[in-house]
A and B are shown apart, each in its own frame.
Chain A
Amino acid sequence: MVSIQGVNKHFGNLHALKDIDLTVDDGEVVVLIGPSGSGKSTLCRTINRLETVDAGSITVNGKPLPAEGRALANLRADVGMVFQHFNLFAHLTVLQNITLGPIKVRRTPKAKAEERARQLLQRVGLADKADAFPSQLSGGQQQRVAIARGLAMDPKLMMFDEPTSALDPEMINEVLDVMQDLAREGMTMVVVTHEMGFARRAANRVVFMADGQIVEVAPPDEFFDDPKTARAQDFLAKVMSH
């Protein structure tokens, strides 16, 4: 589904991504973890070219990422993206947020798009919020709408860039539950997160990054119970100490 080879990226003097190689198979859930500033969000954002890379190649579904333009827009339509800060369209209702993509990009008739949107809202537990504006929802509700918005495009891949990092603790689980259901249903997912419990339960593979490099890749049980690298051991000791 996604193949990343030899990717390098600089922000000025900062070498944000160093020789990244990573593939994501169909139906696989890959969870990126690591300390802040390790490059996991940047890596996630390169997959739909919200960040460009300086060197290396990224292919999605066998096709190299096109330059900015219609071909890239088409590719992005197939890759759902959920952001840390939700980024729901502030001037549109929940229903309009979800139907915008299908109507504008997929040319789905409005009635059909709305029907599907209501099904998705049902699924994320927000059927009664269709006509609310984003500002009237809690963070957890907004993030679930954002997930529904992504799913409305029938994406081949869903990416989550720290989807629970901006949420109050009591709202984290309602979002993780939705994500876990998705994972169980076989959605291909790339998830950047600090939620170790989620990584352990939902991931097929855990990718541990530090200082712009992929340090360790392993199935979750193996990674959490028996990390091989000192950097990962150190990181886990810090995040698991409470």
Chain B
Amino acid sequence: MFDNFDLMIEALGAGMWTTVWVTLTSYAIALVIGMVLVVMHVSPAFPARWAANAYTQLFRNVPLLAVLFIMYFGLPKVGIVADNWVWALLGLGMYTGAFVGETMRSGINSIPLGQSEAARSLGLTFGQSLSSVILPQSVRAVIPPLGSLLIALVKNSALVLAIGVPELTARSRRLIEDTQSRFDLWGVIICVTVGYLLIAFVLSYLVRIAEKRTAFVR
């Protein structure tokens, strides 16, 4: 079943590495976007709230594959040219960012109104009360769902194979379609599955640690 095992592991290992860094980089982008969105969502300025809502509706309701196609095939037609890597990271990041924003927003909404009233009463500005009082308290509530988004992103990252990024699933397809038929289908499937599980387990573990680190007495 595991014919040419070393060749297979070499190819899949490279794919796994690509999956990991594509996932982590686009997740970092998603976190930044989500943070910006949530500040806009709760901002007193109407245009900011409107723009955040428009972004969220757009990226949440268009399939990720369509987002990637629009970026990779569509944008060059209007003169915006970039590597497929760039579109992969931006597509995954911007798509996931919409979900991160909504997750963080629900975290903020879970904090009693009295906390922000007390903060404002002390003379803290909108930004200060958000950064010193509201966000630190919401972090703990949103870490588990943010962890779920991270795991979902690991799997969603497989879609970037459609724009030619050689991540884990793309590599496995190459092995399965090997012109010399050197690899067994089930062998590849098992190795790929183990690869994704390994990534997910490690990331889940890190999320658990983050959850414990942010715990506070209540």
Q: B123 touches which one: A50, A87, A133, A153 (CB < 8 A)?
A: A153
B133 to chain A, nearest CB (A): 5
Report if A76 contacts B (CB, 8 A): yes
Stretch in contact with the other chain, from A31-39, A100-108, A188-196: A100-108
Scan residues 33-48 of chain B and give those whose CB is less than 8 A from a CB of chain A.
44
* Chain A positions within 8 Å of B124 at CB level: 73, 100-101, 104-105
B102-140 Cβ-contact flags toward A at 8 Å (1 or 0): 000000000010110111111111101000110011000
Contact yes or no, B217 A89, CB < 8 A: no
| Alpha-carbon separation in the docked complex, A104 to B133 (Å) | 12
Q: In the complex, what residue of chain B is closest to A48 when comparing beta carbons?
A: B121
Report if B213 contacts A (CB, 8 A): no
| Alpha-carbon separation in the docked complex, A68 to B120 (Å) | 10
Report if A205 contacts B (CB, 8 A): no
Report if A70 contacts B (CB, 8 A): yes
Report if A43 contacts B (CB, 8 A): no
Report if A124 contacts B (CB, 8 A): no
Contact yes or no, B115 A89, CB < 8 A: yes
Q: Majority SS of interface residues in chain B? A: helix
| Alpha-carbon separation in the docked complex, A78 to B123 (Å) | 8
B128-154 Cβ-contact flags toward A at 8 Å (1 or 0): 100011001100000000000000000
Interface centre among A73, A77, A133, A149 (most CB of B within 10 A): A73
| Alpha-carbon separation in the docked complex, A91 to B217 (Å) | 8
Given A50-B117, A83-B118, A85-B114: A91 and B216 interface contact (C-beta under 8 Å): yes
| Alpha-carbon separation in the docked complex, A81 to B123 (Å) | 11
Report if B218 contacts A (CB, 8 A): yes
Contact yes or no, B123 A73, CB < 8 A: yes
Interface centre among A68, A73, A91, A133 (most CB of B within 10 A): A91
Q: A89 touches which one: B119, B120, B123, B126 (CB < 8 A)?
A: B119
* Chain B positions within 8 Å of A133 at CB level: 216-218
A57-101 Cβ-contact flags toward B at 8 Å (1 or 0): 000000000001010011111111101010111110000000011
A107 to chain B, nearest CB (A): 11
Q: A81 touches which one: B112, B118, B217, B218 (CB < 8 A)?
A: B118
* Chain A positions within 8 Å of B217 at CB level: 133, 135-136
Contact yes or no, A89 B218, CB < 8 A: no
| Alpha-carbon separation in the docked complex, A217 to B125 (Å) | 35
Q: In the complex, what residue of chain A is closest to B214 when comparing beta carbons?
A: A91
Given A68-B44, A133-B216: A89 and B118 interface contact (C-beta under 8 Å): yes
A154 to chain B, nearest CB (A): 11
* Chain A positions within 8 Å of B118 at CB level: 81, 83, 87-89, 146
B2 to chain A, nearest CB (A): 51
Q: In the complex, what residue of chain B is closest to A106 when comparing beta carbons?
A: B123
Interface centre among B44, B117, B121, B136 (most CB of A within 10 A): B121
In the A-B complex, list the 7 residue pairs whose CB atoms are closest, starting with the nearest.
A77-B123, A101-B122, A87-B118, A87-B114, A81-B121, A105-B123, A133-B217
